[in-house]
Structure 1
Amino acid sequence: MGSCSLTFCRRLIQSKPSVWTFMLLTLFAVSGGCKESSRDEATDGLEPPVVHDSMAADSDDSPATVPSTSDDSESDLPGKPLPEKLAVGDKSPGLAIAKWVRGEPVEEPLRDRVHVVEFWATWCGPCRAGMPHITELQSEFADDVTFIGVTREDEATVEGFLADNATGEKTWDDIIGYRLAIDENDWMNLAYMKAAGQGGIPCAFIVGRDGVVEWIGHPGTIDEPLKKIVDGTWDREAAIAEYKQQEQLQQLSAEVGKLLRAQDWDAALERLNQFEKEFGSSKTLLNYRVRVLEIAGRTGEAAVAREALVELAWDDAMLLGQIAWTTATNGDPSDLELALKAAKRASELQQNENGPILDTLARCYYELGQLDEAIKYQRMAVEHANGQRQIEATLKGYLDEKAEAEKADSAEKSEEMKAEEAEAKEAEAKEAEAKEAEAKEAKAKEAEAKEAEAKEAEADEA
């Protein structure tokens, strides 16, 4: 799931290269996961993999950066070694938990079972949105996997959140079916998030049965790797190579970012070409290329690259959702059918149960002028949104627009009816006038005939 005011016209940023550049830089920064911003530092940028523009930026559901950990707190850390760096293939740092808020404590070391350590916060909309799915995964893999949700917030805040209404009559405590724990003086954030260079939540770390970190990423894309890790078909070496490529892509994003700030589009594209020759192609790299081409105004090339990206990402629901959103809201309007195709596939991959992706599908229909279809899928999005306010606000916007349109149609029909009624009355008056003239003419002819008859009778008598 950037956030901006609710509007149902195409964004102004379509015509502003500088804003496009900012958006691309934001996208580069979060391509390895879901970038969040804190409530105090919310910004208006993209929110990969699925982007929304339904609520103001100060919403609890808006994307935000995780506040950095103060160095002053390190003196209060548990007496456990902190890794300088953490990557896929490294040994797990373990646990340092101040309080287990929900579920039984987990003993170290993290071995023999698969463990998922997920970092979250009560104020994080995407974190809340993913909780039902994590609960489903915990239930599905109950015999093999232990999920641990870790937050740096205090116990009172977490307990208050659990008591809050989530959806319908259920509280968050009713919905969440896995362990929740509070970080001990930020040790977990330092050992996992900071060491792995992860700046956003939600972020999950899968630790295999032998205590090695197997995967790092957004929990929305955890299903496939988790299944393979559990059933023993996971290719760790390939995962390590992919993670290293992601690190290289982060370096690439910094280099390309400088060129974009200078609006040197040709140099940015050339740097992407060089990277592809050196490290090979990938979905992320092609995604970067699409964005640079869009910013550069090369719509023809961007359309070709975008179509290729959709084909390459055909089984990646999150990336397809991102492509659909950015194409529908900021891309070439001629590619709206492609955006719809991508959104439909993304929703299909999520069994039409992912609120943000359904929201994207609805937006595609909206941009195509199919408001009824947009409302249909937005209703479904709300049903699966777990209380995300921007999705509910979007539905209200669509319904308000439909009501206004119906009101306008009603007023137009009323005017048409009045015009038709006036026209009918005018025709009726003309018909009456014609009948009256016809009657007068008939009377005149009758009088003329009588006069002629009288004259003829007088002649006969004479």
Structure 2
Amino acid sequence: MRLPIVSLMLLASLFAGRVMALELGSPAPALEKVTWVKGAPVAVGKTITVVEFWATWCGPCKKGIPHLTKLQKTYGDKVAVVGLSSEEEDAVRPFVEKMGAEMDYHVGIMDQEASQTYMDGVSGIPHSFLIDAAGTVVWAGHPMGLDKPLADVVAGTFDAKRYSEVSKLEDGIQELVKGGVNADNQEEIFTKALEMTDRILAIDAVNANAVQMRMAIAQMKEDKGLFRAILEKLPRDQLGAEQANELAADLATKEDLAMRNLDLALAFAARAVELEPKEASYIDTRARILCELGMTERAIALEQQAIALEPENKKLGEALDYFRTVEKLRAGLTEAK
């Protein structure tokens, strides 16, 4: 079987940058040689801090900006969210100014050499570090997996031993896939990766990286039964709103129609809205899935709710227009019968 290139890239990148010089439990380096572009300067060890390294040219970084903004708004003064780039100021500052309120957290430009105190050994961005109020690095990885450890640190329930075990397993997965996946070694790698992600999920039942890895493997194996089983096994009551919405949106837009599992997509979307009923983007996701299912009247009603929450969001208005067009077509076809 010829392996999809995009899936291979996803498989290799989920745990990229796990092996690094800055170990968990280490004191966080000071945020020195930083030109602050937005917000007041931040010093680690004063409050819980999220430090994310990003760039204006990085697609996944840009996609994650609303997520970081949401985290900053959710936790307020309890957490300082910091985005650091090592690009030139004339690239970063206009980008941040254009983003406006969509990028509503501390943003700085860190000297390239200084940034290596964090990023030495890390192979890709975006990459986040979670630092507790004592100034200790307690978690690091792709920001997709940040929500649960951050919530635990804020609540005072963070289990360092538990997350250390997960980190070691993630390091093992990176070692497993770094040499590449091909027709000769794929079954062995898939089997080992599924076993290792099983162990991660036994510790952290909704670990975002492990879930995405398992989904990617199921897609590469073209195993629709395995793909659905992975999703069904997820404890929905433990999913955070962002992760639930990401799963819903991802399922609803799968190119392979047999992988869409719209019933599960709708359930994940409902979970996101249940947790954050005033988040317009989550309502929009749910509305889009309902439209896909032919429930256009309900989709229209939900999209109107989303627009009421964010009246300036043009994409929501475009979605509403589309739903109304679909409803007119549906009504016309019904009358034609």
Please give the TM-score of this superposition, normalised by the length of structure 2: 0.74
Q: Corresponding residue for 1:151?
A: 85
Q: Corresponding residue for 2:160?
A: 236
Q: Rate the CA distance shift 1:248–1:398 in 2: closer, same or farther, 3 A.
A: farther
Higher gyration radius (CA):
1
Equivalent residues of 1:221, 1:318 under 8 A apart: no
CA drift of 1:99 comes to 1.6
Q: Rate the CA distance shift 1:319–1:148 in 2: closer, same or farther, 3 A.
A: closer
**For residues 175-214 of structure 1, what are the structure 2 equivalents within 5 Å?**
178-184=105-111, 186-195=112-121, 197=122, 199-201=124-126, 203-214=127-138
**For residues 99-110 of structure 1, what are the structure 2 equivalents within 5 Å?**
99-106=35-42, 110=44
Q: For 2:235, what is the secondary structure of its paired residue? A: helix
Equivalent residues of 1:121, 1:151 under 8 A apart: yes
Equivalent residues of 2:65, 2:102 under 8 A apart: no
Per-residue Cα deviation, 1:332-359 (whole angstroms, up to 9, x for no partner): 368321221122113323445162x444
Of residues 27, 40, 43, the one that matches 1:91 is 27
**For residues 280-291 of structure 1, what are the structure 2 equivalents within 5 Å?**
281=202, 283=207, 284-285=209-210, 287-291=212-216
Q: Rate the CA distance shift 1:296–1:104 in 2: closer, same or farther, 3 A.
A: closer
How many residue pairs get aligned? The number is: 327
Per-residue Cα deviation, 1:251-286 (whole angstroms, up to 9, x for no partner): 33446x51xx42876545433455468878565546
Of residues 242, 247, 250, the one that matches 2:171 is 247
Equivalent residues of 1:375, 1:395 under 8 A apart: no
Q: Rate the CA distance shift 1:30–1:277 in 2: closer, same or farther, 3 A.
A: closer
Letter in 2 for 1:126: K
Identity %: 24
Letter in 2 for 1:406: K
Per-residue Cα deviation, 1:210-232 (whole angstroms, up to 9, x for no partner): 33211224556545433433454
Q: Distance in 2 between matches of 1:315 and 1:398?
A: 28
Q: Corresponding residue for 1:406?
A: 328
Deviates more, 1:94-103 or 1:224-233: 224-233
1:311 aligned onto 2:235:
yes
Of residues 123, 126, 145, the one that matches 2:63 is 126
Per-residue Cα deviation, 1:14-59 (whole angstroms, up to 9, x for no partner): xxx757x33432332343599xxxxxxxxxxxxxxxxxxxxxxxxx
Q: Distance in 2 between matches of 1:179 and 1:18?
A: 44
1:339 aligned onto 2:272:
no
CA drift of 1:152 comes to 2.4
Q: Corresponding residue for 2:191?
A: 270
Q: Corresponding residue for 2:318?
A: 396
Q: Distance in 2 between matches of 1:198 and 1:102?
A: 26
CA drift of 1:207 comes to 1.9
Q: For 1:181, what is the secondary structure of its paired residue? A: strand
CA drift of 1:192 comes to 2.1
Q: For 2:157, what is the secondary structure of its paired residue? A: coil
Equivalent residues of 2:173, 2:193 under 8 A apart: no
CA drift of 1:117 comes to 1.8
RMSD: 4.2
CA drift of 1:398 comes to 6.2
CA drift of 1:122 comes to 4.8
